[in-house]
Amino acid sequence: MKPTDNFLPFALPSIGDEEINEVVDTLRSGWLTTGPKTKRFEEDFAKFIGVPHALAVNSCTAGLHLALEAIGIQPGDKVITTPYTFTATAEVIRYLGADPLFVDIDPNTFNLDVNQLADTLAAEPGVTAILPMHFGGQACDMDTILTLAQRYGVKVVEDAAHALPAYYKGRLIGTFGDLTAYSFYVTKTLATGEGGMVVTSHPDYAERIKIMRLHGMNRDVFQRTSSKQPFWYYEVVAPGFKYNLTDVAAALGIHQLRKAESFLRRRTEIATHYTQALADLPVRTPYVHPDNVHAWHLYVLQLQLEELTIDRDTLIDQMTQAGIGTSVHFIPLHLQPYWRDCYGFQPTDFPIALQVYQRAVSLPIYPGMSDANVERVITSLRKILTAALR
């Protein structure tokens, strides 16, 4: 959906002529599936992050699944993660027969509360990995997480679906854990429609993912065409999955990646403008750790409901009536029927996640927003909240 005089969408990819021309070139080449463009995208991505291995996949979900499989997660294992995320973060744990062990979130960053993480690791036997999610684009406390992981002998797989590019103490997310997975879904900071990437510094993990992302075959189609062995020959060495990225999607990713830092600058400008313009309203604007660089995939307000005569859902309805798309990130997993019923959760089991959810509103933030679009969001929000003051 494109922004019009009547409606400003919540999210919109920023696609230029470079991406379009690269896709056209791909279509004309006759090579649509995983091939030379995907290889080029992987090489560019590895160089951008500063790691030796980047493996393109068809979603961040696929990337997380492959990452957990690569480190050897098995039935009966426990993987610590957050309840304040999209269900994919936890569902990949169940794919492997393991169990997610939810830890509540920090009330400022909405990331894993590292104090509760430490308590859980000390109290729970059978934990084999930590799966932190960098909420909204703000890096988790990686120093503490890695210290705890080393102390308890567990692996770290990062969900960086929101975190491209995000920096923790001067280093890009993707250079810390054992493996890191990114999302290129249409709403993300780098968009290929569908797609993802896994990065790692461990060659054994990279080799395992390379095999498992395409049916457990030891050679994909592109490798077979560039090999001295017969084109048709391959060996199935494991029961793998169908998780490869196409060259059509990679063609978009090549140029989206080149724009990553300029996209970040524009997102930061919008976020800064929001924070300054909304400071006197009954909302809490996003906290940004002074040592980090926020990727600003999301800009999430916390409504001070005690000072308002309307609730969050009414605010969203009124913003929609004003022609502005908003959203909610996230409905905590312990409230969702599957997770609630599977593990017997109560709403108050993770009180911070519950409270944050009840007050959360995500505003539009994407590079294609004009200054006039941003002002329209601010003006509409100010009008609604001012009228709703107690």
Q: Which residues does 247 contact at the CB level (< 8 Å), separation at least 6?
A: 26, 29, 31, 32, 33, 34, 35, 36, 37, 38
Residue 362 domain-assigned (yes or no): yes
- The per-residue pLDDT string of the chain (390 residues; one tens digit each, 9 = 90 and over) reads 455 569 999 999 999 999 999 999 999 999 999 999 999 999 999 999 999 999 999 999 999 999 999 999 999 999 999 999 999 999 999 999 999 999 999 999 999 999 999 999 999 999 999 999 999 999 999 999 999 999 999 999 999 999 999 999 999 999 999 999 999 999 999 999 999 999 999 999 999 999 999 999 987 766 656 556 677 888 999 999 999 999 999 999 999 999 999 999 999 999 999 999 999 999 999 999 999 999 999 999 999 999 999 999 999 999 999 999 999 999 999 999 999 999 999 999 999 999 999 999 999 999 999 999 999 999 999 999 999 999
Closest by CA position to 323, among listed 268, 375, 380, 272 = 380
Same domain, 223 and 307: no
CATH label of the domain that carries residue 93: 3.40.640.10
The number of folded domains in the chain is 2
Residue 47 domain-assigned (yes or no): yes
Residue 252, both tokens: 């978009």
Rounded to a whole number of angstroms, the CA Rg of the chain reads 21
Same domain, 198 and 266: no
- Report CA-CA distances (Å) from 61 to 65, 110, 186: 6, 21, 14
Residue 36, both tokens: 């030379």
Same domain, 251 and 272: no
Same domain, 335 and 323: yes
Same domain, 290 and 364: yes
Same domain, 166 and 297: no
Measured CA to CA, the distance from residue 124 to residue 278 in angstroms comes to 42
Measured CA to CA, the distance from residue 260 to residue 280 in angstroms comes to 32
Residue 85 domain-assigned (yes or no): yes
- Residue 222: per-residue pLDDT: 65
Residue 8 domain-assigned (yes or no): no
Measured CA to CA, the distance from residue 222 to residue 219 in angstroms comes to 8
Residue 4 domain-assigned (yes or no): no
User: Quick check: is 78 catalytic?
Assistant: no
Residue 9 domain-assigned (yes or no): no
CA-based angle 125:127:129, to the nearest 5?
165
Same domain, 185 and 325: no
Same domain, 36 and 179: yes
Domain that holds residue 337: 260-387
Q: Domain boundary residue among 258, 278, 294?
A: 258
Q: Domain boundary residue among 209, 225, 258?
A: 258
Same domain, 203 and 265: no
Q: Domain boundary residue among 218, 237, 258?
A: 258
Same domain, 332 and 243: no
- Residue 336: per-residue pLDDT: 98
Same domain, 102 and 246: yes
- Report CA-CA distances (Å) from 195 to 41, 166, 185, 300: 12, 19, 6, 24
Catalytic residue among 37, 78, 188, 210: 188
Residue 7 domain-assigned (yes or no): no
- Residue 280 per-residue DSSP state: T
The model's pTM is: 0.96
Same domain, 294 and 171: no
Report the relative pairing of strands 167-168 and 155-159 from DSSP bridges. Answer: unpaired
Residue 361 domain-assigned (yes or no): yes
CATH label of the domain that carries residue 344: 3.90.1150.10
